[in-house]
Every structure is written in C-alpha cells, then in structure tokens.
Amino acid sequence: MSNATAVFFPAVLALVIVGAFIQLYRVRGKGRAENRNSLRSKKGPSLWVKVFSLSASIGLPVYLIGLMSGFTQAPKMCGVESGKGPSNRPDSITETLFPLSRVCKWTDGTIVDLVPSWVNPVLFVCAAGFVLCAAMSIWTVIKNKKEPAHE
C-alpha cells in the first residue's frame, strides 16, 4: 500500500461513514410522522436528492484521489511500488480516466497500477447511486404532478 493510499483511505472511509449517519439522521427526522414514508413523500424527492448529493460528494473526492495517484512523479512511483527502486523506470505507462488506472509495465512482465484498488469500486457504487437517485427523483416529481392533491 502506498503512502497516499495509507493516508487517504481511512479519511475517505471516515467521510463515507459520517456522511451516511448524517443522512440517515436527517431522513429519519427524529421519528416525525410525515417523514416515516419519505421514499414516497408528496412533498417531493427530498430523500432521493439527499442520497444523490451524498453520492456526488463522496464520489468526487474519491475520483480526485485516484486521479492524483502518481500524478507528478509516475515513473519514480512505479519503481518504488514495484520494489525495483526509484531509479528503475517503467517501459510504458498507460492511463485511463474511467475506470481510473495508471498502469506501469516493464519488459520483464512486471505490472503495477498506481491507483489504489479501493478507488474504482467506490466510484462505481457512487455512480450507481448517483444515476439511480437522479432517476428516482425525476420519477417522483413526475408522479406527484400527475396525482391529484388530497387535502
């Protein structure tokens, strides 16, 4: 595990846990009756918007962490991560933006990815939550406009 991963992983994990608890507390509304069925609330897509924003607020920093992994000194970091030493530069470095990857390859068959292994699974979960909640938010607004008000 690289130094950046060792530093950022606990911080990101803590943010995810704290954010999830804050969102659960806010959605529960301290037991108020109008929030008990907040998934289908007539007031609008508040739960979906909250989870949508939570997914985005977790996904963006994680993406930036992965994007910056080995950004400034990729050849040197590749040598260090492979155990060959900082002076042994890779023959090629291949980068992709989604899924995030910065792969270093040597002619002897050694392959090292500088992006931490936990970044892409977190990104995929956040992207799925982002898309699902955006769709459900739009669906809730459309459904509430079609139903007559019962007041």
- Measured CA to CA, the distance from residue 113 to residue 31 in angstroms comes to 47
Least confident of 49-53, 64-68, 78-82: 49-53
Is a pLDDT exceeding 80 seen at residue 133? Answer: yes
Average predicted confidence (pLDDT) for the chain: 78
Token readout for 6 is 């060792």
43 exposure class (CB count in 10 Å sphere: 0-12, 13-18, 19+): exposed
CA dihedral of 14, 15, 21, 25, whole degrees rounded to 10: 150
Q: What is the mean pLDDT of residues 21-39?
A: 54
β-partners of residue 51 are: none
The per-residue pLDDT for 73 is 85
Strands 92-97 and 100-105: antiparallel
Q: What is the mean pLDDT of residues 33-43?
A: 50
- Measured CA to CA, the distance from residue 89 to residue 73 in angstroms comes to 11
Residue 70 phi/psi, 5-degree rounding, is 70, 20
% of the chain at pLDDT higher than 70? 66
